[in-house]
């Protein structure tokens, strides 16, 4: 969350330095680890903020400014390429009647009654790509994009071994070849295992892994991923290369492409229908995912005459397979604790093969999903694997198991025993254990040492994970108990680096109160709210004592507390929940007893927000903020929030379906803004 723009050169300089470091971190995570730390939207907002400050203070633009780095923005990282011939999609068929309908339409269009010869090809579940060769050399490559315009991924395509950089043998002066980039199932599983070991992003299925690997701004990452391509279609060509599609596939093979070896000619509709069954039976055993068979009329002159209707050719159809399904017993419902404390029910199943993958677990997402499916331990269930490796439970088969009981959501976290809460209006139940929950401990340690928190130089994510795995640190206080001798001699650590780390840790034994609060990793207490709490309570002693009291108050008082603190009731509740857990209190006290010197906070500054001193009315529904949070935010920035519009009102924030208050504001000539405008005024977003 960003605040209002800096007003003095000193502030601007500090903010530009902060943004440069933050964006560099995000870039590294995105490009090198393929594990984005923030959404594209958040990233873009930081880039915009950086640009806006640079525009106001051009003398302060840094040499390492994100605006000077090339390829910094992931969302606009690729140049666009317009396809010479649009990349269209295919009509679908789901059964023999649909297929016969396709044949009859083609016959009618051509005014013929004879059978067609087809080529049948597995429909590869990957992403389509267009390759343009000029004088035999790969000139450029583009993704499908919206069909008219794709992304220029030439550099990444060049590193895929099964795509020739130069066509073998004679070829037209200019030819565009299309095909599907994919990742084999075994390669996908190995990649995910390696990603997991490195703490990097896990892909949901081979198609996502292929797409993520191809859309890399750094082609050395693409090169390290086992991508392949099957060639299967033609775009533009400066001369004819074949008279049949099958003849074209043979040329593709000669030029050095991989062509799927199940692709075959089929003399009649009956042959095509039989081929569908054959490929369906082979599907599970194939090395790659397919989701159907594509049938193309073999004669290229017929293809030309048939042409296109809408966005699909009249000469081809994709006959899809049904999603792969299987039936098995739901043995048990376990609760998994995620790294953020989310409790997810997981179905343990009697192992069963679905589409060539042996499945013994399925996610149940959340307790609402269990209620919707109405499944219990012991029931027989139907599973579906639709491209994704993680299957879903689709339905219960038959009655509930005898003597079974309905699922009861856990009241405590299975990893640490702390209370588990499901806030009103949310689907996810969460562990309140925070610091003490082993399932969350590692992520908490990473957060604790990170830049906005204790900012311990040399104790980045990778090091924390290594130290945690080797049990050198289990709790934040352990960091301050580390000794150089424990570190010297570890892989990558020498005497000097170990002593430097210990020195960096020692330097952080004195810490500002807001950083201390933020470092605890309490849900929803980000840097801004931590600052607010620090200013409100002043000293760590006062804060600690007040938190002891906060635990004992009921929900109404929490609401009042939220208003007093101007953080809103939801955040006040998170705070109280955290301190309600005895072991969280112990961890905080353990840290203070190290001892740490926690510097008192500066008293609250007079707000320089454009909202300061204004009387504001909110009306209508807000999409990005809850009303109490919006009110708390405005008050925090020095505004007075009232319920009705009067002559004293300075500003009316119009949500959706704003009614009579909007009209009254117009009648009285009072300034109005929409939600987006309010976010800008409140400093949540820069323009």
Which positions lie near ligand IVH, rule CB under 6 A? 88-90, 121, 123-124, 128, 180, 232-233, 294, 313, 316, 318
* CB nearer ligand IVH, residue 177 or residue 449: 177
Residues whose CB is less than 8 angstroms from the CB of residue 348 and which lie 6 or more positions away in sequence, other chains included: 330, 331, 332, 333, 334, 360, 361
Cβ-contact 515, 454 below 8 angstroms: yes
Please say if 332 is a catalytic residue: no
Cβ-contact 575, 432 below 8 angstroms: no
Which tokens is 498 given?
Answer: 């170990």
Residue 603 CA to residue 395 CA, distance in Å, equals 58
Cα separations (Å) of 551 from 365, 517, 570? 31, 16, 14
Pairing state of beta strands 671-674 and 651-654? parallel
Residue 292: CB minimum distance to ligand IVH, A: 8
Cα separations (Å) of 660 from 321, 405, 651, 663, 668? 55, 51, 15, 5, 12
**In terms of Cα–Cα distance, which of 443, 476, 478, 477 is closest to 461?**
443
- CA dihedral sign, ordered 394, 400, 405, 406: positive
From the centroid of its chain, how far is CA 174? 39
* CB nearer ligand IVH, residue 124 or residue 157: 124
Residue 121: CB minimum distance to ligand IVH, A: 4
Residue 406: CB minimum distance to ligand IVH, A: 42
CB atoms within 10 A of CB 515: 20
* CB nearer ligand IVH, residue 230 or residue 678: 230
* CB nearer ligand IVH, residue 81 or residue 124: 124
Cβ-contact 337, 440 below 8 angstroms: yes
* CB nearer ligand IVH, residue 121 or residue 629: 121
* CB nearer ligand IVH, residue 301 or residue 541: 301
Which one-letter DSSP state was computed for residue 682? Answer: T
Residue 90: CB minimum distance to ligand IVH, A: 4
* CB nearer ligand IVH, residue 233 or residue 630: 233
Supply angle C-alpha 611, 612, 616, rounded to 5.
55
* CB nearer ligand IVH, residue 121 or residue 367: 121
Residue 215: CB minimum distance to ligand IVH, A: 15
Residue 249 CA to residue 229 CA, distance in Å, equals 14
- CA dihedral sign, ordered 433, 434, 435, 440: positive
Q: Is 192 helix (H, G, I), strand (E, B) or coil?
A: helix
Residue 532 CA to residue 566 CA, distance in Å, equals 8
Which tokens is 29 given?
Answer: 């995570």
Residue 505: CB minimum distance to ligand IVH, A: 53
Annotated catalytic residue, options 80, 123, 166, 332: 123
* CB nearer ligand IVH, residue 77 or residue 86: 86
Residue 124: CB minimum distance to ligand IVH, A: 4
Cβ-contact 412, 418 below 8 angstroms: yes
Q: Which residue is nearest to ligand IVH (CB)?
A: 128
354 DSSP β-pair partners:
357
Residue 89: CB minimum distance to ligand IVH, A: 4
Residues whose CB is less than 8 angstroms from the CB of residue 615 and which lie 6 or more positions away in sequence, other chains included: 639, 640, 641, 642, 648, 649, 650, 651
Taking only Cα atoms into account, the Rg of the chain, rounded to an integer number of angstroms, comes to 31
501 half-sphere exposure, CB direction, 13 A CA radius: 23
Which tokens is 403 given?
Answer: 């003597």
Catalytically active residues are 123
């Amino acid at each position: 969350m960003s605040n209002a723009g800096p007003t003095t050169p000193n502030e601007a300089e500090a903010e530009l330095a902060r943004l440069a470091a933050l964006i560099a971190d995000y870039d590294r995570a995105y490009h090198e680890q393929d594990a984005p730390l923030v959404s594209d939207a958040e990233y873009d907002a930081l880039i915009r903020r950086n640009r806006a400050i640079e525009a106001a203070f051009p003398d302060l633009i840094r040499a390492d400014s994100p605006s000077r780095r090339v390829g910094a923005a992931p969302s606009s990282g690729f140049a666009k390429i317009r396809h010479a011939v649009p990349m269209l999609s295919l009509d679908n068929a789901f059964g023999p009647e649909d297929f016969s309908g396709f044949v009859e339409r083609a016959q009618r269009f051509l005014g013929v009654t004879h059978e067609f010869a087809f080529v049948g090809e597995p429909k590869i579940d990957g992403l389509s790509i267009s390759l343009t060769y000029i004088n035999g050399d790969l000139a450029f490559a583009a993704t499908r994009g919206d069909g008219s315009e794709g992304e220029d991924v030439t550099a990444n395509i060049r590193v895929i071994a099964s795509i020739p950089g130069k066509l073998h043998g004679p070829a037209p002066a200019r030819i565009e070849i299309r095909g599907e980039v994919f990742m084999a199932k075994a390669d996908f599983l190995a990649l995910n295992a390696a990603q997991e070991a490195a703490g990097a992003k896990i892909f949901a299925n081979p198609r996502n892994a292929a797409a993520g690997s191809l859309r890399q701004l750094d082609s050395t990452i693409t090169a390290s991923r086992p991508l392949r391509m099957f060639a299967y279609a033609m775009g533009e060509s400066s001369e004819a290369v074949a008279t049949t599609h099958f003849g074209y596939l043979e040329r593709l093979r000669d030029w050095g492409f991989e062509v799927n070896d199940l692709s075959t000619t089929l003399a009649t509709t009956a042959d095509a229908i039989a081929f569908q069954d054959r490929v369906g039976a082979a599907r599970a055993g194939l090395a790659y995912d397919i989701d159907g068979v594509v049938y193309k009329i073999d004669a290229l002159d017929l293809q030309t005459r048939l042409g296109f209707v809408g966005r699909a050719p009249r000469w081809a159809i994709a006959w899809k397979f049904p999603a792969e399904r299987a039936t098995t017993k739901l043995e048990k419902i376990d609760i998994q604790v995620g790294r953020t404390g989310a409790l997810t029910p997981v179905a343990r199943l009697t192992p069963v093969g679905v589409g060539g993958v042996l499945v013994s677990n399925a996610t149940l997402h959340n307790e609402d999903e269990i209620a919707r499916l109405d499944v219990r331990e012991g029931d027989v269930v139907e599973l579906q694997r639709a491209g994704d490796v993680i299957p879903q439970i689709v339905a219960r088969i038959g009655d509930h198991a005898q003597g079974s009981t309905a699922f009861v959501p856990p009241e405590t976290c299975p990893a640490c025993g702390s209370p588990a809460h499901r806030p009103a209006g949310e689907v996810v139940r969460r562990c309140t254990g925070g610091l003490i929950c082993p399932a969350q401990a590692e992520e908490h340690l990473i957060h604790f040492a990170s830049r906005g928190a204790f900012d311990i130089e040399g104790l980045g994510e990778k090091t924390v994970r290594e130290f945690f795995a080797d049990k050198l640190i289990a709790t934040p206080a352990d960091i301050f108990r580390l000794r150089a001798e424990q570190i010297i001699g570890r892989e990558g650590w020498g005497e000097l680096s170990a002593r430097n780390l210990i020195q960096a840790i020692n330097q952080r034994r004195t810490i500002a109160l807001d950083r201390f609060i933020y470092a605890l990793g309490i849900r929803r207490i980000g840097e801004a709210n931590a600052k607010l709490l620090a200013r409100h309570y002043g000293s760590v002693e006062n804060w600690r004592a007040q938190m002891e009291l906060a635990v004992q108050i009921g929900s109404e008082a929490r609401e009042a507390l939220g208003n007093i603190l101007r953080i809103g009731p939801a955040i006040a509740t998170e705070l109280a929940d955290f301190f309600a857990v005895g072991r969280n209190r112990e961890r905080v006290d353990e840290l203070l007893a190290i001892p740490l010197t926690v510097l008192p906070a500066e008293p609250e500054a007079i707000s320089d927000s454009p909202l300061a001193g204004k009387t504001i009315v909110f009306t209508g529904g807000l999409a990005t903020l809850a009303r109490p949070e919006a009110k708390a935010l405005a008050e925090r920035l020095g505004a007075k929030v009232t319920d009705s519009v009067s002559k004293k009102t300075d500003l009316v924030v119009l949500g959706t379906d704003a009614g009579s208050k909007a009209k009254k504001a117009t009648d009285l000539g009072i300034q109005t803004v929409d939600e987006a405008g309010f976010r800008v005024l409140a400093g949540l977003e820069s323009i």
